[in-house]
């Protein structure tokens, strides 16, 4: 809270919010090499204010100065060493000034401050770099100003004009002012080292470089310095990479370079322009808030209409930022009329197609950037497989998984990579769904490894839904390797390990009885080689991974029992069989039976009865150590 101190003539003196004071201190006392950006920030604010007033004037005939030209003027006074930036925008009331310019209202500054306090032991240079990354909006003016006087009058008829003034110290004053016309005027008293900004040529150069996208004329000493048409209506060939980036920063407040962008200009059957950006990163809370937004600004015939347009993109593309400007919508469109509007539907279909193609191109030409993309948004994009059947083809080409044949545990493969590596005659795409560390260790992989068959690891909770939804990729069905009915052809034999059929049959029937409460059945495995046993999903059952996820959301959920497969060629199983033949049923053997199940569960990262596991481990260790002692 800022303390207000009433002075004569309605002048109040107020303290800046503490965080603002810290920020200002840093801005004023450090030599910042990118001070040019203050102009961009002030112009960006003026442009937003003009957008707002233009939108309001569509419906509000009472607005102050309805016929004022929508433009930004910059005036230089070399003798007074001042620079004035004036707009005929929406203006601010006294409360709005206090709220907007006195506290950290804007999210970029808030996250900057968080970073700054994390970097509090670093040198000034590192902190200034952070400022460059986040941008500080209006406050950046104090990099060049020793005093700033802001005079503003809101667009409401009869609104009181106010004057805000500060030297960037701990306080500012706010008072009633005499301003007849609508809008905001910012008078910057330049510091001695900021006098370069009194040079009109220099200003024009900065404007062309950083603010050319602005759709309103920006006049320096009466002369227009920018092209004056919004970036999206300009021909692609005339826009530099830097201009696309400046525009992105203006839209998003993000100073990082976007991963990719697309500039769309369509004439038939409907006329619209769009510039779409894929940010390098988006805060999780933005992507996963309860009511996510589609951060596209909608313009109609160059007039800003609204900034959250759920109709323009499906939710699974909510990481995209950008603008859409359409000539074929009426200026009085409302949220309600946007729904089911055939023009909007067409635009949306076009944007989805372009974006998916853009991502596919990124994946192909810039695999490293695509990895960054996938890590940031893969989980959001996967929602598309469930929500958008029409684009299954495109979406499935964008999916990435780790796999049993990956170069490193982190290496990502596409489904096409998988297909390219498939063995001759292989008919299915094998996968194993489960926890990240556990899947790569699963005994079920033995037989696949041995045959050189690749298994995709589905470690994201939604992954299994996604492949179930897709059913096939390029005609190849997906197959879970922990299903009971995986057919791998003839079983492999372990060299020199003959099995005793009768022993195996007897062991199976013993285990079935001993484990009746824990497993649905016990079978002889056709696929295990190096592991004694595994648990698999019975035919037609819900996969264990799905059950695990259901249990997370519903604690009452009772999972189905799985089938225990044993490997009769494995020494542990053979020894148990031999023991059973000699000793018949006994308590120790029953403990062993349970341990076979617990052994698998441990590998999956769950323990049902830790006490029993410990008891068994104890026995095993005692036996093994006795063996060791005997050897020594």
Residues in contact with ligand ADP by CB under 6 A are 41, 45-46, 49, 87, 89-92, 100-101, 105-106, 108, 137-138, 184, 253
- Contact present, 162 and 14 (Cβ < 8 Å): no
- Contact present, 404 and 448 (Cβ < 8 Å): yes
Q: How far apart are CA 415 and CA 400, in angstroms?
A: 7
Q: How far apart are CA 248 and CA 232, in angstroms?
A: 11
CB of 155 to ligand ADP, least distance (A): 10
165/604 with CB nearer ligand ADP: 165
CA distances from 451 to 403, 404, 407, 438 (A): 15, 12, 18, 21
- Contact present, 458 and 433 (Cβ < 8 Å): yes
72/395 with CB nearer ligand ADP: 72
Q: How far apart are CA 23 and CA 559, in angstroms?
A: 55
Count of positions (residues) in the chain: 632
Q: How far apart are CA 128 and CA 25, in angstroms?
A: 12
- Contact present, 445 and 481 (Cβ < 8 Å): yes
90/220 with CB nearer ligand ADP: 90
Q: Nearest residue to ligand ADP, using CB? A: 137
41/212 with CB nearer ligand ADP: 41
- According to DSSP, residue 144 is labeled T
133/499 with CB nearer ligand ADP: 133
150/576 with CB nearer ligand ADP: 150
Burial-class residue 364 by CB neighbours within 10 Å (0-12, 13-18, 19+).
exposed
- Dig out the tokens for 329 from the structure: 């919508």
CB of 163 to ligand ADP, least distance (A): 14
CB of 190 to ligand ADP, least distance (A): 19
23/300 with CB nearer ligand ADP: 23
CB of 424 to ligand ADP, least distance (A): 59
Q: How far apart are CA 523 and CA 551, in angstroms?
A: 26
CA-nearest of 286, 274, 344, 347 to 318 is: 286
149/486 with CB nearer ligand ADP: 149
CB of 210 to ligand ADP, least distance (A): 14
- Contact present, 136 and 109 (Cβ < 8 Å): yes
CB of 99 to ligand ADP, least distance (A): 8
DSSP string, 300-362: ETTEEEES--TTTS-GGGTT-EEEEEESSS-TT--HHHHTT-HHHHHHHHHHHHHHHHHHHHH
CB of 101 to ligand ADP, least distance (A): 6
106/354 with CB nearer ligand ADP: 106
CB of 374 to ligand ADP, least distance (A): 30
CB of 29 to ligand ADP, least distance (A): 20
């Amino acid at each position: 809270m800022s303390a207000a101190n009433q002075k004569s003539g309605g002048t109040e003196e107020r303290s800046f919010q503490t965080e603002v004071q810290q920020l200002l201190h840093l801005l004023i006392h450090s030599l910042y090499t990118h001070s040019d950006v203050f102009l961009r920030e002030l112009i960006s604010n003026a442009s937003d204010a003009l957008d707002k007033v233009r939108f309001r004037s569509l419906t509000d005939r009472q607005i102050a100065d309805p016929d004022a030209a929508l433009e930004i003027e910059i005036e230089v006074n070399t003798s007074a060493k001042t620079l004035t930036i004036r707009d005929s925008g929406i203006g601010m009331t006294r409360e709005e000034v206090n709220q907007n310019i006195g506290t950290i209202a804007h999210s970029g500054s808030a996250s900057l401050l968080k970073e700054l306090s994390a970097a509090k032991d670093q040198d000034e240079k590192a902190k200034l770099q952070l400022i460059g990354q986040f941008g500080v909006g209006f406050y950046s003016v104090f990099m060049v100003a020793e005093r700033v006087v802001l005079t503003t009058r809101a667009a409401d008829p009869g609104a009181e004009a106010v004057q805000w003034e500060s030297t960037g110290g701990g306080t500012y004053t706010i008072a009633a002012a005499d301003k007849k016309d609508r809008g905001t005027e910012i008078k910057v008293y330049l510091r001695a080292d900021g006098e370069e900004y009194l040079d009109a040529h220099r200003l024009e150069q900065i404007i062309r470089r950083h603010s050319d996208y602005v759709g309103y004329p920006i006049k320096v000493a009466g002369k227009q310095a920018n092209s004056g048409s919004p970036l999206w209506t300009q021909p692609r060939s005339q826009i530099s990479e830097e201009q696309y980036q400046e525009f992105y920063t203006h839209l998003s407040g993000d100073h990082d370079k976007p991963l990719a962008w697309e500039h769309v200009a369509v004439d038939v059957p409907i006329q619209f322009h769009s510039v779409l950006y894929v940010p390098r990163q988006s805060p999780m809370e933005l992507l996963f808030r309860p009511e996510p937004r589609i951060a596209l600004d909608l313009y109609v015939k160059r007039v800003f209409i609204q900034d959250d347009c759920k109709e323009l993109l499906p939710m699974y593309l909510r990481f995209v930022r950008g603008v859409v400007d359409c000539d074929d919508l009426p200026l009085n469109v409302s949220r309600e009329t946007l729904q089911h509007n055939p023009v909007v539907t067409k635009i949306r279909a076009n944007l989805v197609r372009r974006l998916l193609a853009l991502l596919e191109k990124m994946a192909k030409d810039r695999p490293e950037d695509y990895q960054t993309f996938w890590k940031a948004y893969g989980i959001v994009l996967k929602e598309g497989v469930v929500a958008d059947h029409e684009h299954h083809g495109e979406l499935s080409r964008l999916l990435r998984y780790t796999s049993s044949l990956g170069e490193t545990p982190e290496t990502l493969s596409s489904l096409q990579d998988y297909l390219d590596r498939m063995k001759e005659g292989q008919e299915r795409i094998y996968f194993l769904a489960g926890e990240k560390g556990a899947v790569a260790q699963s005994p079920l992989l033995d037989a696949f490894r041995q045959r050189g068959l690749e298994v995709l690891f589905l470690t994201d909770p939604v992954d299994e839904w996604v492949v179930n939804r897709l059913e096939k990729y390029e005609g190849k069905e997906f197959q879970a390797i922990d299903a009971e009915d995986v057919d791998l052809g003839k079983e492999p034999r372990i060299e020199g390990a003959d099995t005793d059929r009768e022993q195996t049959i007897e062991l199976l029937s013993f285990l079935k009885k001993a484990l009746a409460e824990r497993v649905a059945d016990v079978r002889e495995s056709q696929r295990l080689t190096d592991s004694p046993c595994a648990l698999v999903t019975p035919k037609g059952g819900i996969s264990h991974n799905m059950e695990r996820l259901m249990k997370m959301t519903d604690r009452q959920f009772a999972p189905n029992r799985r089938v225990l497969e044993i490997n009769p060629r494995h020494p542990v199983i053979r020894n148990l069989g031999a023991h059973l033949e000699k000793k018949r049923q006994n308590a120790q053997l029953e403990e062993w039976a349970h341990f076979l199940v617990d052994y698998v569960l441990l590998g999956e990262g769950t323990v049902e009865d830790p006490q029993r596991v410990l008891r068994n481990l104890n026995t095993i260790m005692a036996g093994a150590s006795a063996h060791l002692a005997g050897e020594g």
